[in-house]
Amino acid sequence: MLPIALTIAGSDPSGGAGIQADLKTFHQFHVYGEAVITLLTVQNTRHVLRVEVVDPALVLQQIEAVVSDIPPAAVKTGALGNAQVVSAVASWARQSCIPLIVDPVMLSKHGAPLLSPEAQQVLKKELIPHATLVTPNLPEAQALTGQTDPQNAARHLLQLGCRAVLIKAGHAEGEPIDLFYDDAGPLTLPGRRIQTLHTHGTGCTLSAAITALLAAGTPLRQAVQQAKSYIQNAIATAPGLGHGHGPLNHWAETTPRVG
The model's confidence at residue 109, banded by pLDDT at 50, 70 and 90, is low
Across the chain, how many H-helices and E-strands are there?
Answer: 8, 9
| 41 classed as catalytic | no
Q: For 118-128, how does the pLDDT look when each residue is reduced to its tens digit (9 = 90+)?
A: 999 999 999 99
CA distance 184 to 69: 36
Active site residue 240: no
> What local confidence, expressed as pLDDT, does residue 224 receive?
97
| Residue 24 among the catalytic residues | no
Dist. CA 18–CA 236, nearest whole Å: 20
Closest CA to 10 of 86, 111, 92, 80: 80
CATH number of 4-236: 3.40.1190.20
pLDDT for the residue numbered 60: 98
The active-site residue, picked from 202, 211, 218, 254, is 202
In this predicted model, what pLDDT tens digit does every residue of 81-106 receive, in sequence order? Answer: 999 999 999 999 999 999 999 999 98
Do 221 and 252 touch, CB atoms closer than 8 A?
Answer: no
Any idea where the domains of the chain sit in the sequence?
A: 4-236
pLDDT digits (tens, 9 = 90+) for 176-235: 799 999 999 999 998 888 888 899 999 999 999 999 999 999 999 999 999 999 999 999
Catalytic residue check, 111:
no
Distance between the two ends of the chain, CA-based, in angstroms?
A: 33
In this structure, the dihedral spanned by the alpha carbons of residues 75, 14, 142 and 93, taken in order and rounded to 10 degrees, is -20
Look up 124 and say whether it is catalytic. no
> Residue 80 in 3-state DSSP?
coil
